[in-house]
Amino acid sequence: MTDTPIWKTLLVWAIVALSLAFAAPNLFYDRVEQHNDAAAAIEKAGGSATPDQAAALAQWPDWAPSGIVALGLDLRGGAHLLAEVKVADVYAARIDALWPEVRDALRDLRDQVGNVRRQPSPEGVLRVAISNPAGLQAAVEKVRTLATPVVSLTGLGSNDIEVSSDNGEIVVQLSEAERVATDQRTIQQSLEIIRRRVDEVGTREPTIQRQGEDRILIQVPGIGSAAELKTLIGTTAKLTFHPVTRVTADAGARPGPREMLLPAMDEPNTYYLVEKTPVVTGEDLTNAQPAFDQNGRPAVEFQFDPTGARKFGDYTANNIGKPFAIVLDDQVISAPVIQSHIPGGRGIITGSFTVEESTELAVLLRAGALPAEMTFLEERTIGPELGADSIRAGEVAALVATALVAAYMIASYGLFGTFAVLALAVNIAMIFAILSTLGATLTLPGIAGIVLTMGMAVDANVLIYERIREELRAGRSPGAAIDEGFGKALSAIVDSQLTGLLTAVIMFFVGTGPVRGFAVTTGIGILTSMFTAVYVTRAIVALYIGWRHPKTIIV
Amino acid sequence: MAFRLKLVPTETKIDFFRWQYITFGVSVAAVILSLLSVLFIGLNFGIDFKGGTTIRTESTQVVDVGAYRGALSDLGLGDVSITEVFDPSFRPDQHVAMLRIAPQEGYEAVTPEVIAQVEAALQAVDPAITFPSVESVGPKVSNELIWKALLAVFAGSAGIWIYVWLRFEWQFAVGCVAALIHDVVVTVGVFSIFQLKFDLTIVAALLTILGYSVNDTVVIFDRLRENLQKYKQMPLRDLMNLTTNETLSRTIMTATTTFLALTALIIFGGDVIRGFVFAMLFGVVIGTYSTLYVAKNIVLMLGLDRTEKTRKERAKGDHEFANIDA
């Protein structure tokens, strides 16, 4: 057998040793996990550790590798949601906010355009009628000056609004470039706010990802149910403060211009007519905390930023004795009467809350409002017990599979079968080492992928051994037969494994959820099995030949 | 000579083309039958592809399908299917059932209220009941998932086709892809005939079958190419038999190890992935069959151009990585 260069052999053994070291933490999963959690918590707390944390930290040495595979929702239990953000909602809000500006701009041209009136129009379109048709061109020109360039890479050079005239009316809508840019912002904001809300409740390793154009995938391990997760992230939590014009029991009351009719949150048959433009909004909040009011009922205390505080202070000073509606997501939580000027921007929201509700509302207000509503297209809840059952089943199946494959390989190839089994063990360790280092997530189909890899990984060994057998039958010496076997089988190994790798890559890019988990482990398994079957087995065989110098070998 | 377990004798001289019209006819018939079944019986799509909700229930009390059905009948949910699940890994007092609720009319997304109602109704029947998993997919997503799944299978086949075409000659690529289509179609046909649940994981299994079947086929083609150089005068049919017999031991060996691993998984891996594992297990069997009886037969039918000119072209043309050295 030809000698492999020493550096090559050393490199192979070094990779094997590293793989074993990096796979090892997974054998002590609970311990390492507690160690890692404690380390993260201590770092967050700025270096000070509680006795519990110190004990958890001591369970695993700091110098040892501490990467472990993350367990997917189907193994750990948790909730999965796929939300679609209604990005178009934002267009309507933008266009509505434009109306006062347009009105003021046209007021300057009153002698040319006459009276200005907003016309009913579909959502996201602003139609303005003017009483003097001759001034239409001038009016359109004037409104165009309100446009600002779009700030985005793709929309370079275009303006945010499109102004045209139609049937004697001015039509204003968002330009295509602005829509794209707005969608982008809406999704980014939604992602950020969902992340903040999920982080507030402090769960481990949530996944919050954008998917496609307008979707967000949220996976939170350890949370009780998807419904629970939905109340946390599905609420828009848009807080606004409006002047109240009238309280009524009539659900069909017609709001006047620039007014809206909102239901009360807790009292049936009570409706408030409020001014459409809020005095202050949740965006001006800097903090919110659960608290209790003077009667000991749960409430939420809030604090405005300087701008909000000034607006709030001015308004309360000028409107003492008038009711003031606190509105959350288009429902009136309460409408207290302003007793006195409230300086400093502090306030308290009372309603018929439970302690949980007030805590949750405070969380939502702190995290900020979602820019648009969301609908849920997919939701999955997996209980932790089912996950634990799946892990157990996967472990048993993997052990039995290993035993069966090992027994069969040893029965078929004797000593060389044992070498292949050793290489297989290294292969599994390598898969776990790579998964841990990449921080990949292991799912139940992923476990199936590993078990399947065990069955298919020995294929490369089989190809090599069958080839060695043939060469031996052809009368070659052991060393030459081994060289030929490894050499000639390589083309078939590379060919056959590359196609497998190809399907794994396609599965990874096209697939979602379970398909992806499976693709990751089979893909990694194919790569590692090529390495272990060819290089590791060869290194083991070389050790054996070097040690025993056998005259004949039986494969 | 030490003991060696040998499923295949050292030297075999099986004529794989002896019954070629029968085996080929059986394959064609199986493909047609599968297509007809998919067309007329259809597939038992899981919620991934059809939308709707599945609820897994678990209780210490015995599952009473009638009582469950009774409890849910007042809710007006339309089609509800309830099946009890058995698994060797369950504890004696672990009784599991799967409920499937059709998507509710007129909803784009999932309907959480429905789930809450169902859970409450079942808890009234059996207070010990718990819901280890609840999964809901809206119709909007399920439609997209169907297309994505089809795309994945097509992309997989196309990728393999191109790869084999680059590495071998076009006849091999055609034979290889015909074998793949045969394997995938018949597997889908089995799922249709026995109305097994067809969900996203089954698509992953189909892709794995693609990978496995092509792996098997390519190994034989690789040897065939080698033998084409070695025995220039041997008729193609004999050459193919020689090649297949030479590699038969390996084909059976690999099929057996994969089969053993998957058998462990189907018995002990739990009911959650049983359908998935079944698809792969079936795929290994049919993939091995198609390697021996479909792929080569098509290459033989198409014939290979074995004149010197093409071989020279091949040597300098698309074969630059045919002889990779270790």
Residue B9 lies in a domain: no
Give the fold, CATH level 3, of A88-180. Gyrase A; domain 2 (3.30.1360)
List Cβ neighbours of B276 (8 Å cut-off, separation of 6 or more). A445, A448, B201, B202, B204, B205
CB contact under 8 A, B108 and A377: yes
Would you say residue B13 lies in a domain? no
For residue B55, give the amino acid letter.
Answer: I
Distance, CA of B277 to CA of B210 (rounded, Å): 15
Which of A431, A458, A439 lies closest to A522, judged by CA? A431
B324 in any annotated domain: no
Q: Which two tokens stand for residue B27?
A: 């394959």
Closest Cα partner for A218 from A107, A73, A109? A73
The confidence score (pLDDT) of residue B182 equals: 93
Measured CA to CA, the distance from residue B253 to residue A466 in angstroms comes to 10
Cα–Cα distance between B191 and B185 in angstroms, integer?
A: 10
For the residues of B81-93, what is the DSSP string, one character each?
EEEEE--TTS-TT
- The CATH H-level superfamily of A6-26+385-548 is Multidrug efflux transporter AcrB transmembrane domain (1.20.1640.10)
pLDDT reported for residue B28:
93
Domain boundary among B89, B109, B136: B136
**Predicted interface score ipTM higher than 0.90:** no
- A395-450 tens-digit pLDDT: 999 999 999 999 999 999 989 999 999 999 999 999 999 999 988 888 888 988 89
- What mean pLDDT comes out for the span B136-161? 84
Residue of A nearest to B6 (CA): A412
Residue A157 DSSP symbol: T
* Residues near A113 by beta carbon (within 8 Å), at least 6 away in sequence: A106, A130, A131, A132, A135, A136, A138, A139
Burial of A552 (0-12, 13-18, 19+ CB in 10 A): exposed
Residue B316 pLDDT greater than 50, yes or no: no
CATH class of A235-379: alpha beta
Nearest to B167 by CA among B326, B296, B318: B318
**Rounded-to-integer distance, Cα A197 and Cα A218, Å:** 12
Q: How would you write the pLDDT of chain A (555 residues) with one tens digit per residue?
A: 666 788 888 999 999 999 999 999 988 888 888 888 888 888 877 777 788 888 888 888 888 888 888 888 888 888 999 999 988 888 887 887 788 788 888 888 888 888 888 888 887 888 888 888 888 888 888 888 888 877 666 656 677 888 888 888 888 888 888 888 888 888 988 898 888 888 877 666 788 889 888 899 998 888 877 877 888 887 777 888 888 888 888 877 788 777 888 888 877 888 888 888 888 888 788 888 888 888 888 888 888 888 888 888 888 888 888 888 888 888 888 888 888 888 888 888 887 788 888 888 888 888 777 888 888 888 888 988 888 888 999 999 999 999 999 999 999 998 999 999 999 999 999 999 999 998 888 888 898 889 888 888 888 899 899 889 888 888 888 888 988 889 888 887 887 788 788 888 888 887 777 778 888 999 999 999 989 988 999 999 988 888 888 877 777
In this predicted structure, the answer to whether residue B290 has a pLDDT above a threshold of 70 is: yes
Provide, as residue numbers in chain B, all residues whose Cβ is less than 8 Å from the Cβ of A230: 112
Strands (E), A194-319: 207-211, 215-221, 239-248, 259-263, 271-275, 280-281, 285-292, 298-304
Together in a domain, B71 and B191: no
Same domain for B66 and B193: no
In A130-159, the residues whose Cβ lies within 8 Å of chain B are: none
Out of A400, A447, A491, whose CB is closest to B324? A491
Instruction: Tell me the nearest-neighbour CA distance from B104 into chain A, angstroms.
Output: 13
pTM: 0.80
The closest of B192, B191, B163, B190 to B177, measured between CA atoms, is B163
Kindly give the interhelix angle for B112-125 and A226-233, rounded to the nearest 10 degrees: 150
Based on the domain organization, do B38 and B115 belong to the same domain? no
**Total tally of structural domains belonging to chain B:** 2
Q: Which of B106, B136, B166 is the last residue of a domain?
A: B136
Start-to-end CA distance of chain A, whole Å, equals: 15
Chain B interface includes A492 (CB < 8 A):
yes
For chain B, say whether A500 makes contact (Cβ under 8 Å): yes
Look at residue A21 in the predicted model and tell me its pLDDT: 92
CATH number at residue B85: 3.30.70.2040
Matching CATH topology for A6-26+385-548 and A235-379? no
The C-alpha atoms of residue A23 and residue A67 are separated, in whole angstroms, by: 8
Nearest to A496 among B58, B109, B215 (CB): B215
B256 and B153 share one domain: yes
Which of these, A452, A438, A445, A423, lies nearest to A530 by C-alpha position?
A423
Pick the most confident of A78-82, A360-364, B31-35, B42-46. B31-35
Q: Nearest 5°: CA angle at A359, between A354 and A360? A: 100
In a shared domain, residues B265 and B197? yes
pLDDT tens readout for residues A319-357: 888 888 888 888 888 888 888 888 888 888 887 788 888
Q: How many CB atoms lie within 10 A of CB A363?
A: 18
In terms of residue numbers, what domain contains B287? 20-44+142-316
Question: Residue B296: inside a domain, yes or no?
Answer: yes
Q: Do A454 and B261 touch (CB under 8 A)?
A: yes
For residue B326, tell me if it sits in a domain. Answer: no
Pairing mode of beta strands A441-442, A280-281: unpaired
- With cut-offs at 50, 70 and 90, classify the pLDDT of residue B273: confident
